[in-house]
C-alpha cells in the first residue's frame, strides 16, 4: 500500500521524535580501525546501537576536525540484569590531546596523538539509570565526555570493555538535535526495532525492584 505523502511525512516525523532526538544507527558489521563508523557531522546527536563481542573488540568511530569543534560522547547500557556489571570504557584519540591517559589506551597511539579516557564507575557500585520515554526503556548511565578540541586533524573514539566481557551498549555522539530527510527515514525504520529490543544479543531481564 502506498501512503499519501502527508501521511508518510507525518509518520516520519513521529519516528524522529521516537528516537528522542538522536539519529539511530545499528552496528551492522563489526566496527574497527579498518572499518570505523564515520561520524560525518560531529555535533549532530546520534545513537549507535552496538555490541562488544570479546576482550579484543575495539569499536572505532572516526571523525575529521577542521576547526574548533565540540565533541560530546557518552555511553548508555540496556537496563538488563545480564548487564548490571557490564561497564565499557571509551576514549578520544587525536592531535593536541593530553597524554596522561596513554597507559590506558586501548590501541597504539601515533607520536602526535594524545588521549582522553572515560571509565565507568567501579563494578560493585550502583550506577544511575534513566528512562527514555520514546523507546519505553530504562538504561544504565555510563561515562560522559564533553570537550572542545582546537587542533584540526583526525580524531577517533574507541569503545571497549577493560574487563573483556561481551555486551550491548549505545554510543551517543553529538548534542545538536537536527534531522535531515534521510535521518528521519532512518529513524522511521530503526525506532520500532529499538522499541522491541531487537538489537539486543540477550533476552533482557530487567533487575527487580523497579
Per the DSSP assignment, residues forming a β-bridge with 76 are: 141, 170
pTM of the model: 0.89
Give the separation between CA 96 and CA 145, rounded to whole angstroms.
16
CB proximity list for 49: less than 8 A, separation 6 or greater = 24, 25, 26, 27, 168, 170, 194, 199
Q: Grade residue 133 by pLDDT with cuts at 50, 70 and 90.
A: confident
Radius of gyration of the chain (CA): 18
Q: Grade residue 147 by pLDDT with cuts at 50, 70 and 90.
A: very high
- Residue 158 near residue 93, CB atoms below 8 Å: yes
Q: Give me the residue spans of the domains in the chain.
A: 5-195
Which pLDDT score is estimated for 202? 97
Tell me the CATH number of domain 5-195, given options 3.40.50.720, 3.40.50.800, 3.90.100.10, 2.60.120.380.
2.60.120.380
What is the per-residue pLDDT across 154-189, written as a single tens digit (0 to 9) for each?
999 999 999 999 999 999 999 998 888 888 888 889
194 pLDDT higher than 60: yes
What cell numbers appear for 78 in the block?
A: 540496556
Which pLDDT score is estimated for 144? 98
3 pLDDT higher than 60: no
Share of the chain above pLDDT 70, in %: 89
Of residues 183 and 57, more confidence is placed in: 57
Amino acid at each position: 500500500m502506498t501512503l499519501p505523502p502527508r501521511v508518510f511525512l507525518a509518520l516520519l516525523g513521529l519516528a524522529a521524535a521516537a528516537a528522542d532526538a538522536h539519529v539511530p544507527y545499528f552496528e551492522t558489521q563489526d566496527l574497527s580501525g579498518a572499518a570505523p563508523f564515520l561520524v560525518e557531522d560531529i555535533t549532530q546527536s546520534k545513537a549507535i546501537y552496538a555490541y562488544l563481542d570479546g576482550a579484543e573488540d575495539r569499536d572505532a568511530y572516526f571523525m575529521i576536525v577542521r576547526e574548533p569543534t565540540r565533541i560530546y560522547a557518552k555511553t548508555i547500557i540496556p537496563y538488563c540484569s545480564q548487564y548490571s556489571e557490564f561497564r565499557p570504557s571509551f576514549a578520544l584519540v587525536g592531535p593536541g590531546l593530553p597524554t596522561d591517559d596513554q597507559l590506558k589506551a586501548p590501541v597504539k597511539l601515533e607520536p602526535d596523538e594524545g588521549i582522553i579516557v572515560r571509565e565507568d564507575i567501579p563494578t560493585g557500585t550502583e550506577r544511575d539509570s534513566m528512562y527514555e520515554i520514546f523507546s519505553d526503556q530504562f538504561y544504565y548511565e555510563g561515562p560522559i565526555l564533553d570537550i572542545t578540541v582546537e587542533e584540526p586533524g583526525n580524531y577517533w573514539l574507541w569503545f571497549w570493555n577493560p574487563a573483556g566481557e561481551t555486551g550491548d551498549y549505545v554510543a551517543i555522539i553529538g548534542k545538536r538535535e537536527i534531522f535531515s530527510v534521510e535521518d528521519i527515514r532512518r529513524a522511521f525504520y530503526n525506532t520500532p526495532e529499538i522499541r522491541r529490543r531487537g538489537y539486543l544479543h540477550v533476552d533482557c531481564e530487567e533487575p527487580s525492584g523497579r
